[in-house]
Structure 1
Amino acid sequence: MTQESGHQSATIRSMLQLRPVLKEYMYCHIGNGENAAFWFNNWTSIGPLLEFEGQGGPRAMRVRKGAKVIDATRQESWFLPPTRSDQIQMIQAEITTIQPPNASHGPNQFLWRKSDGTFGPVFSSKVTWEYLRVPSPTVYWHKVVWFKEYIPRNSFMAWLALLRKMPTRDRLRRWGMDVPSVCELCSTSSETHHHLFFECEYSSTLWQAFASQIWTNPPNDLHSAASWILQLSRQSNANAIRLIKLIFQASIYLLWKERNARIFTAVSTPPRIIHHAPDRLLRDRLISIKATPPPAQSPL
C-alpha cells in the first residue's frame, strides 16, 4: 500500500469515527447538492438516512450508497421511485419538504450547532464542548487550583491530588498491585493522599516552612489546607493570596517528584536541600507577575 493510499485510509477511518459526533453537531444545508452524501450526511431533519433506514436503504430506494444528493434528482426535481415500505415513504416525504438542489443555489453549506440548538456557519469549540461534556458539580476548591498566575504542571498535580486520583500506594494496592504500603518519605505510615499531603513528617516540614510565613497555623491536611486558603483569601490582599496558592501547588508537585525519585532512582533529598526548590520555583514565577498595589487609603 502506498503512502498516499495509507493516508486516505486513515482519513476515512477518522471520518467514520467522527460520524456519530458530526451527525449531532453538523448539518448540511443543500445548495447545488454536489458534495453532500445522500446517505451519510446530516441534511434532513431525521439525520443521516443510512442510520435511519439501515444498510438495505440504498437497494430499497434504488439510490446507490455512494450517491450525492444531486444524484437523486432529474431536471432540477426530486426523482424518487415509488416504494411500499413505510420507512422509505417516511424518508421520501421528508426529502420532498426540502428544495431540490440547483446550481443556482450555490454550494452546499455545512453548518455547526449553536448554543441555542439551531445551526449556523461559525464553528465554536466552546459551544461544541459544552454539548459534548458531561458537567460535574463545581468543587469548592477550584479557585485554589485554577487562577491566572498558576504554573501548569503544579496546578495539574494539585488537581489530581485534591481529586485523590494520584497513584499513591494505597490505590495501587487496591488495584491488586504487589507494592509496599509504607510511605517512601517517612517510612512510618501507610502512603495515602492525605498522609502524603501533608501529614507525613517530611512533607509537613516543607509545607509548614513556606505556608507559615504567609499565614499562621496552616493545617497539615490536603483538603483542610485548601479550605484554609479560601477562607483567608477573603481577608487578605491579592498578592498574599496568589503566593499561598503557588506555595500550596509547588509543595504538592515537589513532594510527588521527590517521592518518585526515591522509588525509581533510589535518590533522596534531605528536607533542608529540597527547601531551595520551591524558593527558586516561586521566585521565577513571581518575577513574571505584576504585583497588585494595595488599595488606596482615604485621607483623614
Structure 2
Amino acid sequence: MLQNPRNEADGLFANVEAWDVVKSRWVWEKVRDRWEKVLWEDLLWFPLHIPKMSIISWMVILNRLPTKDRLIRLGLESDGSCGLCEDGLENKENLFNECVFAGGVWSRVMLACRLPCRSMCWNEALAWTIANFKGKSLLVCILKLVWNCFLYFVWEERNLRRFRGCSRLVDEIFE
C-alpha cells in the first residue's frame, strides 16, 4: 500500500528523460513486485482455467483453506475430525489425500482419464501432477481442469456436509 503517494510518485518519475516512454506498461514494470515463478503456477493459471476452481486450488497449495486444524489453532474449533470421512484430523493432507471419500473420487477420476492411480502423500502427488501435466495440448488442459475440479469439489463437499448437513456419495458426484 502506498504510504505517501507523492513521495513514491516523485521517486518513480524523477529520472525520466524521455516522457514518450512513460506508458501504463512502463509504470507497471516499475511498481510491481517481481517474484520467482512457482513450479505449480501453470497447473492453476492456464488459458481454459475456471477462476473459482483455480482460486480454491491456489488456497489448497498454500495451505490457506480454513480447515479444522487451522481453526483449532485459532481457537475457533474444538472438533478436528475430518468432515468427509470422520477419520483423522481435517487438514490439507487428510482432506485431499488420505480421506477415503477424496481417495474414492480421485481413483474414479484417474480411472476415467486412464491414468495410473497410486497412493502418495500430498507433496508427492503435487510433484507428480506438476511433472506430468505439462504443456499446452488440449489433453493437458483437460487434465489440469480435472485436477482443479477435484480439489474444488472435495472442498465443496466438505462445506456441504459442514454447513448444510447434506452429503453425496462418490457415485453421485460422477452422475
Kindly provide the amino acid, as one letter, of the partner of residue 118 in structure 1.
V
Contact 1:158-1:249 at 8 Å conserved across structures? yes
Q: Deviations over 1:120-171 (max 9, x none)?
A: 36541x5544444444432211111111111111111001100111111101
Partner SS for 1:184: coil
**Aligned residue among 229, 250, 267 for 2:129:** 229
The structure having more radius of gyration, on CA atoms, is: 1
- Work out whether 1:21 is the aligned partner of 2:2: no
Task: Specify whether residues 213 and 134 from structure 1 end up closer, same or farther in structure 2 by C-alpha distance, changes over 3 A only.
Answer: same
Task: Specify whether residues 229 and 18 from structure 1 end up closer, same or farther in structure 2 by C-alpha distance, changes over 3 A only.
Answer: closer
**TM superposition shift of 1:22:** 4.2
TM-score (norm 2): 0.82
Moved over 3 A (4+): 119-123, 126-137, 218-223
**Aligned residue among 83, 86, 101 for 1:202:** 101
- Work out whether 1:138 is the aligned partner of 2:37: yes
Task: Specify whether residues 131 and 195 from structure 1 end up closer, same or farther in structure 2 by C-alpha distance, changes over 3 A only.
Answer: farther
Q: Superposed, which structure 2 residues align to 1:1-300 within 5 Å? A: 20-25=4-9, 42=10, 113=13, 118=16, 120=19, 122-124=22-24, 126-214=25-113, 215-217=115-117, 219-233=119-133, 238-276=137-175
**Which sections of structure 1, spanning at least 5 residues, go unmatched?**
1-16, 26-41, 48-111, 277-300
Partner SS for 1:261: helix
Task: Specify whether residues 21 and 174 from structure 1 end up closer, same or farther in structure 2 by C-alpha distance, changes over 3 A only.
Answer: same
**Structure with more helix by fraction:** 2
**Structure with more strand by fraction:** 1
Kindly provide the amino acid, as one letter, of the partner of residue 16 in structure 2.
T
Output the CA distance in 2 between the equivalents of 1:113 and 1:218: 56
Contact 1:144-1:226 at 8 Å conserved across structures? no
Count of aligned positions: 172
**Which sections of structure 2, spanning at least 5 residues, go unmatched?**
none
Greater relative contact order (CA < 8 Å, ≥ 6 in sequence) = 2
Question: Identity across aligned pairs (percent)?
Answer: 27
Output the CA distance in 1 between the equivalents of 2:47 and 2:146: 15
Output the CA distance in 2 between the equivalents of 1:218 and 1:128: 48
Contact 2:2-2:8 at 8 Å conserved across structures? no
Kindly provide the amino acid, as one letter, of the partner of residue 231 in structure 1.
A
Output the CA distance in 2 between the equivalents of 1:142 and 1:160: 12
TM-score (norm 1): 0.51
CA RMSD, Structure 1 to Structure 2 (Å): 2.8
Output the CA distance in 2 between the equivalents of 1:191 and 1:127: 46
